[in-house]
Chains A and B, each alone.
Chain A
Amino acid sequence: MFYFRTMTRTLSAPVTVAFDYTRSTGPVLGRFLTGLRDGQVVGGRTSDGSVVVPPPEFDPVTHDPVTEFVDVAPTGTVTSWTWVPEPVAGQPFDRPFAWALVRLDGADAPFLHALDVSSPDQVSTGMRVQVRWAEERIGAITDIACFEPEDGGDGGFETVASATSSTTDTEVEVRGAPATSPDTTVPVTGVVTPVSLDYLYAASPEESAFYRGLNEGRIVGQRCPTCQKVYVPPRSACPADGTPTAEEVEVSQTGTITTFCIVNVPFLGQKIVPPYVSAYVLLDGADIAVLHLILGVDAAEVRMGMRVRAVWKPREEWTYSLENIDHFEPTGDPDADFDTYRHHL
């Protein structure tokens, strides 16, 4: 649903686009992620003899598959770092933290992950760090919760551990040995990566006029000054000739069904119980049809050329949405001649 932002000429609305990407790992990344699940960081040996973490699937020089794996230590040295003053969603911490490139002991190439320190003063190139394992490990890069200072400094683990006798201390539990005992008999072969992105979606000025019209019970299109075609919903430019549409046109709330389909198949997110009819309705005065729901008639009676009118929801439910029109229903008038809509199919 769109809303007004003050001082803007267009309507906008928050939109979240989310998808869980499911990927197979292949033998190299599968080996690496299996290792993480089991509490072991695994590198790959490349053609120059280097041990690289994470192991590359193919050698960067020879392009041969990487086949030799080397266990490396969960401890290492920071080779570069940067401070994150304003974390973004999904990062290992929702408070300021550091990213670090860490050369693990036994590896030659550094590895990127978060480093849990509370200020940039607590991190430096060359500092010693160790893996902090996630409490639950599933075979994903996030099985490493982050790096943490190896000892000494702020949050230093051994100091904390020796200063407390409590065995319930989380930091003690996650030190070194896995806190959980995952099934280590089955190798990791796939990962699911949820991706969710938040946007502020703005409508174009023409679309904004369309939605504002709907909020007032009107259906507003735009006319192309070159070919005179009227687009509903409106477009910023005529897709036929590229001319910006300039003239706002209110079209009729009565129109003709140009084509339709009877929906018999249930699907996720379906709002209406099948069977029902989705149809393209060419409103009188428009040159492009809108897709909408047809009710008030048996599905078997719906036909091309049938004349229909918009049925609006109660006024108090109106908003900036095409859903203000609940559905279209037959007017009872004689069907339109095919020639009146043959160019709009």
Chain B
Amino acid sequence: MRDVAVVGFAQRQMPEFDGSPTCVELLVPLFAECYEQTGWSRGDIGFWCSGSSDYLAGRSFSFVSAVDAIGVIPPVNESHVEMDLAWAMYEAWLKIQTGEVDTALVYAFGKASAGVLRRTLALQLDPYTMTPLWPDTVSLAGLQARAGIDAGAWDERAMAEVANRSLTDAEKNEYAIRKGGSSVEELLARPMYADPLRKHDCSPVTDGAAAIVLAAGDRAREVRDRPAWIEGLTHSIDPMSMGTRDLTRAPSAARAATAVDLVGVEVAELHAPFSHQELILRRELGLAGDVRINPSGGALTGNPMFSGGGIRIGEAASRIWSGEVSKAVGHATSGPALQQNLLCVLGATTEGARN
């Protein structure tokens, strides 16, 4: 296996983007940031891959329009996934592993506010037995939260603790769109929204985009003194049905965790769009008590559709670059109630990589 590192990362998050859902306007400055971080230009990028969905944009082939932000004369090597940025990154990592390219810029974008996000996401469910009922994302998470409360796996206080820590940490994150912690008691005193969820238990509808730059070997070393080397990258999926898995668990997250080495992780950026989902992930990943969770504030403070997962990897990488930590994990989820889970373990050296 080739040593591949995260060497660039840029993001934008906002409650409502006043512009076209093609998001070209957001992507151009993100690419400019990536060029500045790497010292590269467009011609240095061996592979491009984007994540987005036409259902979110409300128009067909929106990802083709977004390619304008790259500029494609001469032509570029380009692909697309209808998945979060983290999965676009997975494809780029595979592309680099094939030896065909040494560098990649992956990006994702979404204007969730153009429609009703929690409704639009019903289209990712089983089209025979679920979508015709339009079960919304918040409700499916609420069923999961209740199942855990009833089973004694967590309680409302534990959920409020996650929210309060996230909102407090988000005060230091310029990109977070919801911030400002108070106290667990104050959060618990707030009204129920989708019982048993309060609004702060649910990630805010967020527009935005993000980009990540990958590079192999010496191409990574030429960019940064401390590239964030990918020590492990894996993803796994559970059945979609809400009835055939124990909703208090995330077996695919546990399975992903067995495929990487999480020992020694100092920071975990977990993509938990609902507060109780962080509790599930901490358990499934077996993270030690001293692992710092979501210092960025996490998805509860900003969760742009299609980049909210990849942003977790970018945030984790940033802490490797800065020297703050030597090993971190970024997690991304997709589908209803933590159906799909991706783990990206990042380290300051290539020694931990499973080559």
- Contact between B71 and A237, CB atoms less than 8 A apart: yes
Chain A hits for B58, CB < 8 A: 15, 17, 197, 199, 201
Which of chain B's residues 126-151 have a Cβ closer than 8 Å to chain A? 127-136, 139-147, 150
B244 at the interface (CB under 8 A from A): yes
Bound-state CA distance A195–B193 (Å) is 27
The interface on chain A, measured as residues whose beta carbon lies within 8 A of the other chain's beta carbons, has a size of: 65
| A125, CB-defined interface residue at 8 Å | yes
Interface flag for A101 (CB, 8 Å): yes
Nearest Cβ on chain B to A6's Cβ, whole angstroms: 12
Contact A110 B243, beta carbon cutoff 8 Å: yes
Contact stretch, chosen from B111-119, B260-268, B326-334: B111-119
Q: A88 and B114: CB pair below 8 A?
A: no
Closest to A114 in B: B133
Contact of B28 among A125, A195, A237 (CB under 8 A): A237
Known contacts A9-B18, A109-B243, A242-B68, A236 near B195 by CB under 8 Å: no
Residues B195 and A82 in contact, CB atoms below 8 Å apart: yes
* Residues in chain A near residue B244, CB distance under 8 A: 46, 52, 56, 60, 109
Query: Do A202 and B18 touch (CB < 8 A)?
Result: yes
In the complex, identify which listed stretch (B19-27, B277-285, B310-318) lies at the interface while the others stay far away: B19-27
- Is A202 in contact with B115, judged by CB distance below 8 angstroms? no
Q: Please tell me which one of the listed residues B28, B135, B136 contacts residue A236 in the complex, with CB atoms under 8 A apart.
A: B28
Q: Which residues of B contact A82 (CB under 8 A)?
A: 139, 141-143, 145-146, 194-197
Tell me whether B81 is interfacial, beta carbon within 8 Å. no
| Complex contact B139–A204 (CB within 8 A) | no
Interface residues of A in 84-116 (CB under 8 A from B): 84-85, 88-92, 99, 101, 109-114
Residue of B nearest to A55 (CB): B129
Q: Is residue A215 contacting chain B, with contact meaning CB distance below 8 A?
A: no
> Quick one: given A89-B119, A202-B21, are A80 and B195 in contact (CB under 8 Å)?
no
**B247 to chain A: which residues have CB within 8 Å?**
80
A97 nearest CB neighbor, chain B only: B139
* Dominant SS among interface residues on chain A: mixed
Question: Within the assembled complex, what's the spacing in Å between the Cα atoms of A25 and B127?
Answer: 10
Instruction: Contacts A10-B18, A191-B128, A242-B31 given; indicate if A199 touches B123 (C-beta within 8 A).
Output: no
Q: Are A92 and B133 in contact (CB-based, < 8 A)?
A: yes
Cβ contact within 8 Å between B243 and A238: no
Which of B24, B59, B147 touches A79 (beta carbons < 8 Å)?
A: B147
The chain B residue sitting closest to A91, CB to CB, is B134
List chain A residues, Cβ under 8 A from B180: none
* B142:A239 contact, CB within 8 angstroms: no
Contact A141 B243 (CB under 8 A): no
Bound form: Cα–Cα A199–B129 in Å: 25
* From A54, A91, A197, A244, contact of B115 by CB (8 A): A197
Encoded as 1 (CB less than 8 Å from any A CB) or 0, chain B from 69 to 81 comes to 1111100000000
Within 8 Å by CB of B143, from A25, A80, A243, lies: A80
Q: Which chain A residues numbered 38 to 53 have a C-beta less than 8 Å away from chain B?
A: 46, 52-53
Q: Mark B159-199, 1 if CB is under 8 A from A, else 0.
A: 00000000000000000000000000000000011111100
The yes or no answer to A240 lying at the interface (CB within 8 A) is: yes
Chain B residue contacts of A197, Cβ below 8 A: 55, 58, 115, 119-120
- B242 contacts partner chain A, Cβ-Cβ < 8 Å: yes
**What is the 8 Å Cβ interface bit string for chain A, positions 108-132, against chain B (1 contact, 0 not)?**
0111111000001000010000000
CB <8 Å contact, A241 and B21: no
Query: What is the minimal beta-carbon distance from A232 to any residue of chain B, in angstroms?
Result: 15
Enumerate chain A interface residues (CB-CB to B < 8 A): 8-10, 15, 17, 21, 23, 25, 29, 32-33, 46, 52-54, 56, 60, 79-85, 88-92, 99, 101, 109-114, 120, 125, 140-142, 191, 193, 195, 197-205, 207, 235-244
Please, could you name 28 A-B residue pairs with CB atoms under 8 Å apart, sorted by A? Answer: A15-B58, A32-B129, A33-B128, A53-B243, A54-B129, A56-B239, A60-B244, A80-B150, A81-B146, A82-B141, A83-B195, A88-B134, A90-B122, A90-B133, A111-B243, A112-B143, A125-B146, A193-B131, A200-B114, A202-B18, A202-B21, A204-B19, A236-B68, A236-B69, A237-B28, A241-B73, A242-B68, A243-B71
In addition to A99-B140, A112-B133, A202-B19, 10 A-B residue pairs with Cβ atoms within 8 Å of each other are: A29-B129, A46-B244, A85-B194, A88-B118, A125-B146, A195-B123, A195-B131, A197-B115, A237-B24, A237-B69
